[in-house]
Chain A
């Protein structure tokens, strides 16, 4: 079974840092691009970042560029999102998702990040 499991969310103060992880199983992780998508409470979906299978291509939304860093470890079947200089507006559920050509399937269950003093 293809599965993605996020972890690392929690409560952090404005200006703080957090590192999210996504553990993949049930497929050849090293063959797929991966993405982070977030959803603020009661809001829609916002794409955050993507990384190609070999980490050669990395993209960020303007809203997180310069503050967030996406990375992956294919040997560990894991995806990461290092989030620095966090702001209240970064509060959201963060999902990792496998990129299957031009769409996302599957998605993890999400991890909640709350930025508040």
Chain B
């Protein structure tokens, strides 16, 4: 089973700052199989990034994804007030087919 580790657990930043979130896998993950989601309180998760670096429909270009192998990064170039949320990475593998990271909370400093 591929285990995903996200760091930091919490990121305290101010609006306008840059956020860099890390997702590390216990073994190599195909870039095609790595996605990022945003979840706000009381809401369902929303797909942000698929294939490690492709933005989903309607996602602003301040969100970007990068990485390969075991290390992946989600970057928010300039935080907007609506970006304060929890972010999860997810990989699609073989057994089990899907695993999620524990999440990174981005909160207001």
Contacts and interface: CB of A to CB of B under 8 A. Distances in A.
Interface of A: 35, 37, 44-47, 50, 59, 61-62, 95, 100-110
Contacts of B100: 37, 44-47
B96 A59 contact: yes
Given A44-B103, A95-B44, A100-B47, 14 more contacts: A37-B98, A44-B88, A44-B101, A44-B102, A45-B37, A45-B90, A47-B98, A100-B50, A102-B50, A103-B47, A103-B90, A104-B47, A106-B47, A107-B45
Given A45-B88, A101-B50, A102-B32, A107 B44 contact: yes
Categorize the interface residue count of chain B.
20 to 34
A95 B100 CA distance: 14
B60 interface: no
Contact of A50 (B33, B46, B50, B97): B97
B19 interface: no
B92 A103 contact: yes
Interface in B75-96: 88, 90, 92, 96
B66 interface: no
A50 B93 CA distance: 13
Nearest to B98: A47
A105 B90 CA distance: 12
Nearest to B35: A103
Contacts of B50: 100-103, 105
